[in-house]
Amino acid sequence: MPSQPAEVSVDAEPTSRGERGAQIVGLETLRSSVQPNVCIVQLHTEDGRTGLGETFYGARAVEAYLHESVAPLLLGKSNPSPEFVSSMLRPYVGYQGSGAEMRGNSAVDMALWDLMGQVTGKPVYELLGGPVRESIPVYNTCAGSGYIKDQPRQSSENWGLDLSDRADGRYEDLAAFLARPGELALDLWNSGFRGMKIWPFDRAAEATGGAEIDAAALEAGIEIVAAVRRAVGPEMRLLVECHGLWHLPAAMRLARALEPYDIYWLEDPLRPDNVGALAELTRSTSIPVAVGETVCGQRNFRSLLEARAIDIAIIDVAWTGGLTEARKIATMADSYGVPIAPHDCTGPISLAAAVHLLMSSPNGLIQETCRAFYHGWYRELVTQEPLIKDGSLRPWQGAGLGVDLIDGLEHAPHVDRRISGI
């Protein structure tokens, strides 16, 4: 059995980055049954510090990659910078997509930024250039507690709707937007949210492979949108997610039908690798088109920006290469006059990283949150909830990312733990 990682001393003074004490001596992964798609990464240093990172989807594959491919390269390195490691771990295959290699690298990058913050005694947003705002507006993604839990894929069969009738189903927002959209919108409004995201057309896309949408399915989805507007009026930012399920003709029909409802953005109406079709759709509608959560790296974003195919860049820090790559994407988007809105319908560490990115990005627009997650399974992993008040979020306090795992999480019965080194 591997020895236990050294305990982190909360009283330890920050050391300079040139000291040998910042040598990486352990790479640890944690997978929990409370959300099997999350893979938490801990990088342990010789002086007892621990850097936290995280990614989402296919956690077992990511775990295997990290221990078999990354740990041999990273262990023993002293003070490795995120930029150096990003270059060192750049995969020979898979670099155009957010496969297991890129997801694993993203988590490691996140953990390195967390360590750098601890060493310097500064929050990560200070290391990224400093704050440009005091707080960040948020919207609620209307998922439920079991959303995308059973399988690593986006499908209505993986929505976790069977949990919506639980006695404690206060935040089962996916079932609510499908059945009681006006009631849900009013509840969110009264809770301080000024933005909500729903996906009322996904089942229609699954039925036809996205090739077309019939009149009945279109009308049913539009009625959900209309019910939200009747309940809370035009002040609520209403975002419509499509998960890249449509082909161009159906997506154009859908956009035309939504235009009277003052949609804040239409998200991933087409797959983002179909740049030409996406640009055509974006030019054809008055609704801002938001794309990017599954787009990996700055070069793939560049093709979308150059084609003027997107109005808003959705960046997933845990999929696109970590904070190192995400800040490059944010800067590049800024040069095209495109705002960023980080994706986070994943885990608590990724959310913290996204908030640090937004805090330091002049073109930051809004942050995704999911109250079913942070009032639910987040509490079984980390000690801090997002600091959300009056529809805005403030960054976590403290050095690094500011997030701590629950004490003893690695020994919990619902957690699978693997360690390389130490």
- pLDDT, averaged in runs of 10, over the chain (422 residues): 38 40 91 97 96 97 97 95 93 86 97 97 97 97 94 91 65 97 98 97 98 98 98 98 98 98 98 97 98 96 98 98 98 98 96 98 98 96 93 93 97 98 90
Domain membership flag for residue 7 = no
**Is 238 within 8 Å of 262 (Cβ atoms)?**
yes
CA dist., res. 23 & res. 74, Å (int): 9
Question: Domain check: are 48 and 187 in the same one?
Answer: no
- Separate counts of helices (H) and strands (E) for the chain: 15, 13
Whole domain around residue 369: which residue ranges?
A: 126-394
Q: Are residues 157 and 287 in the same domain?
A: yes
pLDDT of residue 163: 62
CA dist 393 and 396 (Å) reads: 9
The H-or-E segment that residue 334 falls in is: helix 322-335
Whether residues 170 and 210 fall in one domain: yes
Is the residue at 13 inside a domain? no
CATH number at residue 195: 3.20.20.120
pLDDT number for residue 22: 81
What local confidence, expressed as pLDDT, does residue 93 receive? 83
What is the structure's pLDDT at 152?
A: 87
Q: 165 exposed, middle or buried (CB, 10 Å; 0-12, 13-18, 19+)? A: exposed
Q: What is the pLDDT of residue 421?
A: 96
Any residues with CB less than 8 A from the CB of 217 and at least 6 apart, and which? 201, 203, 204, 207
CATH of the domain at 33: 3.30.390.10
What stretches of 38-180 show up as alpha helix (H) in DSSP?
A: 59-65, 71-74, 82-88, 100-120, 124-127, 173-179
Q: How far is CA 278 from the centre of its chain?
A: 22
Residue 162: the pLDDT is 77
Q: What is the pLDDT of residue 397?
A: 86
Closest CA to 268 of 187, 368, 372: 368
Domains: count for the chain: 2
Please report the pLDDT score of residue 280 as a whole number. 98
Global confidence as pTM: 0.93
